[in-house]
Amino acid sequence: MKHRRYFFNENLKIALAELWANKMRSLLTATGIVIGIIAVTLMSTLIAGVDGLFEQSMKFLGKDVVYIEKWPWGGGEEWWTIRNRPEIDMDLADKIAEWSDYALSVAKERGRGADLTYKEMKSEGIFVNGVTANYLDVSTVEVEYGRWFTEPEDRTYSQVILLGYEVAKALFPNEDPLDKEVHMGGQRYLVIGILAQMGKFMGLQNMDTRVVIPFNTFEKNFHSRWGMRRIAVKVPPDHVDEAIEDLRGVMRILRQQKPDEPDNFAVNQQQAFEQQYAMIKYSIGGVGLVITALSLLVGGIGIANIMFVSVKERTREIGVRKALGAKKRHIKGQFLIEAVVITGVAGVVGLLIAAGLSWVVNEFVFPARMSFFVAFMAIALSVIVGVVAGWTPARQAANLDPIESLRYE
Amino acid sequence: MSDTHTKTATTATARPDSDMLILVKDLYKIYELGHTEVRALDGVSLNIEKNEYVSIMGPSGSGKSTLMNLIGCLDTPTKGEYFLDDINVAHMSDDELAAVRNRKIGFVFQTFNLLPKSTSLRNVELPLIYNGGIPADARRSLAEEALRRVGLESRMLHKPNELSGGQRQRVAVARALVNNPAIILADEPTGNLDSKTGEEIMTLFDELHAAGNTIILVTHEEHIALHANRTIRLLDGKIATDVRNGDRLKG
């Protein structure tokens, strides 16, 4: 063991000196490995980041909530067919609550963009949610400060509003927003509550830049049929699949669809997202793996090639070393370590570049942190490539005949 | 030292003798080239004692190089026995031979064979690296000592391309000495040097011999061979003559 380390150290010195002497050649040879390592680490890091983001976003939806909408989440049908579906009639909500055994709570939800002002302060591009009072049953929204509105307030078209965390911060930097009046679409609303901070949905849609008003107030003040509209149904968590089937049946009856007609609505659930997400994730991962495998293969061939050249160039040196007492394993070790040092350095360089890119993504796109496991695997992978690529040239060097090698010009 | 007396090679005894450093008995090296058989060595027997100074001569094709490779443990014979310092090395594996070369033989080559990118010190340290884990500082001081012995204390950190031919060969001699080998095996050590530098190197060998080293010179130059006190001439794979040189040429 002591001897092994002794020769490892000696061979490492030789390898580093050799690399230094052939800087340009080593650099060019290592490029393929660098690219491969960047591909694999960056891909893993991004997927891990998107995973975390997805998990967090799925919490907004809730496992036991089913959404009846015009557009399916998973995609699949043709855009044009879906485009021609009738809009969801929000009045169906009451019938669904009445007819479906699985509907524990049925909330109506509409939404659109608007601008909000308070005195000279203005908040543009705010998402206005019009929801029924029981919306709290079907969403993870929480009131941080103040209160939620009541069912009677909804029924009587009350001009009350709850502000998202960032909206409140933007409009009321130095004031208590509660009981203040804000303006939106030519209407005045009384602030009754501030929503707890939620973060972004899928890293894109900021859930804290929205405001919530009662559903009927929304219907009264915003006449257009545009914008988001859906019926959110809370179902028993153990019977989600049955509930979806039941709701489909109820909807088909309510819409008087013929038996051979396809659904002209969508019953959406978190699962649909998960399936689609998994597909995207695996395609990204697959592409990443192919890029990695290809660049490592090409890189590995490059390393093997340069090692063959190195063995050829240093035939005489090998002869001298053998004459002076180097055994096969010493020579083999020397060239293997040289190959591993090239790929190892390439691995570290690739890792550093990938870490830099991850940092950029983390700062500006979405949370993505390279794990120690990924870093470790990347280094292990480059070492493996080095051993595999260096094996045959090293064995060739080890088996050289000392007499012929000494004569080699 | 007035008269030159000749004696034939002593017949090899079957048992190794402790005074004998090299004991070669009926050594054959036969190459099969298609259907023809080339006998590079055709039954060579010879003994070399400790602190002998032997030159091996012969025209090309005489088997001189083959004998040198066998004595140097770079090659194994087709048949025959070879005891080096009481060890039978004739049938050893490559790695066992490597260990014997490392501990018993110091090579000096015609073309120096120094590692071009390494300093004199690193070059001289090389045999010590393969000698079972001598710590780096001990290696360094041994290499420094060897370089001092060949008079290169001021060139330790120079690389071969910063040295003259004679200095390079001195580094090679230091490398051959550093492991304190049983024999120093020099293959045409002056072949790539001008005659003056060559004589200087031969003086160095004479000094090493005087200090107790066993030296085997392979050469085709008579005046170089005359430095040795015994000359073995090969012809057609056999020993033609084996003579003691009465009046050794002094450098």
Please name the residue of chain A whose CA is at the shortest distance from the CA of residue B99: A325
Please give, rounded to a whole number of angstroms, the shortest distance from the CA of A204 to a CA of chain B: 58
Picking from A6, A319, A324, the nearest residue to B126 by CB comes out as A324
- Give Cβ neighbours of residue A138 (< 8 Å, ≥ 6 apart): A62, A65, A105, A107, A232, A233, A234
**Which of A139, A195, A205 shows the shortest CA–CA distance to A165?**
A195
Contact: B130, A403; criterion CB under 8 Å = no
Q: What is the pTM of this model?
A: 0.72
Interface probe, candidates B74, B175, B177, chain A, greatest A C-beta count within 10 A: B74
Percent of chain A with pLDDT over 70: 98
| A27 at interface of B, judged by CB pairs closer than 8 A | no
The residue length of chain B stands at 251
In chain B, which residues have their Cβ closer than 8 Å to the Cβ of A21? Answer: 117
| A69 at interface of B, judged by CB pairs closer than 8 A | no
Highest mean pLDDT among A64-68, A225-229, B27-31: B27-31
> In Å, how far are A23, A34, A343, A359, A384 from A289, measured between CA atoms?
29, 15, 18, 21, 16
d(C-alpha A113, C-alpha A226), whole Å:
10
Contact: B117, A403; criterion CB under 8 Å = no
Q: What phi and psi, each to the nearest 5 degrees, are found at residue A190? A: -95, 125
Q: For residues A211 and A164, is the Cβ–Cβ distance under 8 A?
A: yes
For the domain B50-78+93-244, what is the CATH superfamily, name and number?
P-loop containing nucleotide triphosphate hydrolases (3.40.50.300)
Burial (0-12, 13-18, 19+ Cβ within 10 Å), B110: middle
In chain B, which residues have their Cβ closer than 8 Å to the Cβ of A6? Answer: 133
Note the ipTM here: 0.89
- Region of poorest pLDDT, from A339-353, B3-17, B53-67, B94-108: B3-17
Question: Hey, what amino acid is at A239?
Answer: H
Give the pair of three-digit tokens for residue A82. 């879906």
Q: How many CA atoms lie within 13 A of A235 on its CB side?
A: 29
pLDDT in tens, B94-123: 999 999 999 999 999 999 999 998 999 999
pLDDT at A27: 84
- Across chain A, mean pLDDT equals 89
Contact: B130, A321; criterion CB under 8 Å = yes
Please name the residue of chain A whose CA is at the shortest distance from the CA of residue B101: A325
Give the pair of three-digit tokens for residue B99. 């260990």
In chain A, which residues have their Cβ closer than 8 Å to the Cβ of B95? Answer: 327-329
Q: For residues A29 and A393, is the Cβ–Cβ distance under 8 A?
A: no
d(C-alpha A354, C-alpha A349), whole Å:
9
Helix (H) or strand (E) holding A401: none
**Which of A314, A278, A320 shows the shortest CA–CA distance to A406?**
A320
Where does A225-383 show beta strands of DSSP type E?
Answer: 228-234, 266-269
Picking from A2, A317, A326, the nearest residue to B98 by CB comes out as A326
3-state secondary structure of A352: helix
Is the confidence at residue B90, as pLDDT, over 50? Answer: yes
Query: Which of residues 317 through 376 in chain A touch B, CB cutoff 8 A?
Result: 317, 319-330
Picking from B75, B115, B175, the nearest residue to A317 by CB comes out as B115
Picking from B75, B131, B133, the nearest residue to A325 by CB comes out as B131
- Four-CA torsion A399, A401, A402, A407, nearest 10 degrees: -130
- Region of poorest pLDDT, from A23-37, A64-78, A317-331, A364-378: A64-78
Please give, rounded to a whole number of angstroms, the shortest distance from the CA of A199 to a CA of chain B: 60
**Which of B20, B174, B113 shows the shortest CA–CA distance to A321?**
B113
pLDDT in tens, A272-297: 777 778 888 888 888 888 988 999 99
Q: For residues A36 and A350, is the Cβ–Cβ distance under 8 A?
A: yes
| A1 at interface of B, judged by CB pairs closer than 8 A | no
Please name the residue of chain A whose CA is at the shortest distance from the CA of residue B112: A320
Is the confidence at residue A45, as pLDDT, over 90? Answer: no
Identify the contact set of chain B against chain A, taking CB-CB distances under 8 A. Answer: 69, 72, 74-75, 94-95, 98-99, 101-103, 107, 109, 113-115, 117, 126-127, 129-133, 175, 179
Secondary structure letter of residue B13 according to DSSP: P
In A73-150, where does DSSP find H-type helix? 79-83, 92-99, 135-138
The position carrying tokens 């443990």 is B73
What confidence tier does B8 reach under pLDDT thresholds 50, 70, 90?
very low
- Give Cβ neighbours of residue A200 (< 8 Å, ≥ 6 apart): A57, A206, A207
> In Å, how far are A77, A80, A86, A225, A234 from A263, measured between CA atoms?
11, 14, 11, 21, 21
The position carrying tokens 């094709």 is B61
d(C-alpha A370, C-alpha A350), whole Å:
13
pLDDT at A171: 92
Domain ranges in chain B? Answer: 50-78+93-244
pLDDT in tens, B77-86: 999 999 998 8
**Which of B211, B204, B207 shows the shortest CA–CA distance to B189?**
B204
- Four-CA torsion A254, A260, A265, A270, nearest 10 degrees: 110
- Region of poorest pLDDT, from A261-270, A386-395, B190-199: A261-270
Q: Indicate the pairing of strand A121-131 with strand A210-214.
A: parallel
Helix axes A328-364, B94-104, angle to 10 degrees: 100
Secondary structure letter of residue B6 according to DSSP: B
d(C-alpha B48, C-alpha A246), whole Å:
105
Question: Hey, what amino acid is at B103?
Answer: R
Q: Within a 10 A sphere around the Cβ of A241, how many other Cβ atoms? A: 11
Please name the residue of chain B whose CA is at the shortest distance from the CA of residue A10: B129
**A-to-B residue pairs, Cβ atoms closer than 8 angstroms:** 57
pLDDT at A408: 87
Question: Hey, what amino acid is at B104?
Answer: K
pLDDT in tens, A176-195: 999 999 999 889 999 999 99
Handedness of CA A189, A193, A198, A199 (dihedral sign): positive
pLDDT in tens, B206-239: 999 999 999 999 998 899 999 999 999 999 999 9
d(C-alpha A260, C-alpha A173), whole Å:
58
Contact: A319, B175; criterion CB under 8 Å = no
Is the confidence at residue B183, as pLDDT, over 60? Answer: yes
Please give, rounded to a whole number of angstroms, the shortest distance from the CA of A399 to a CA of chain B: 9
> In Å, how far are A90, A114, A200, A401 from A212, measured between CA atoms?
17, 12, 17, 84
d(C-alpha B20, C-alpha B158), whole Å:
39
Handedness of CA B160, B163, B168, B171 (dihedral sign): negative
Picking from B74, B129, B133, the nearest residue to A2 by CB comes out as B133
Q: Within a 10 A sphere around the Cβ of A313, how many other Cβ atoms? A: 11
d(C-alpha A89, C-alpha A100), whole Å:
17
**Which of A187, A147, A141, A131 shows the shortest CA–CA distance to A164?**
A141
Contact: A321, B72; criterion CB under 8 Å = no
| A227 at interface of B, judged by CB pairs closer than 8 A | no
Across the range B55-83, mean pLDDT stands at 93
Contact: B127, A324; criterion CB under 8 Å = yes
Picking from A17, A321, A402, the nearest residue to B74 by CB comes out as A402
d(C-alpha A344, C-alpha B123), whole Å:
27
Contact: B101, A324; criterion CB under 8 Å = yes
> In Å, how far are A245, A354, B108, B216, B250 from B206, measured between CA atoms?
105, 64, 14, 12, 8
> In Å, how far are A404, B100, B239 from A408, measured between CA atoms?
6, 23, 29
Domain ranges in chain A? Answer: 2-56+275-407, 105-234
d(C-alpha A123, C-alpha A114), whole Å:
9
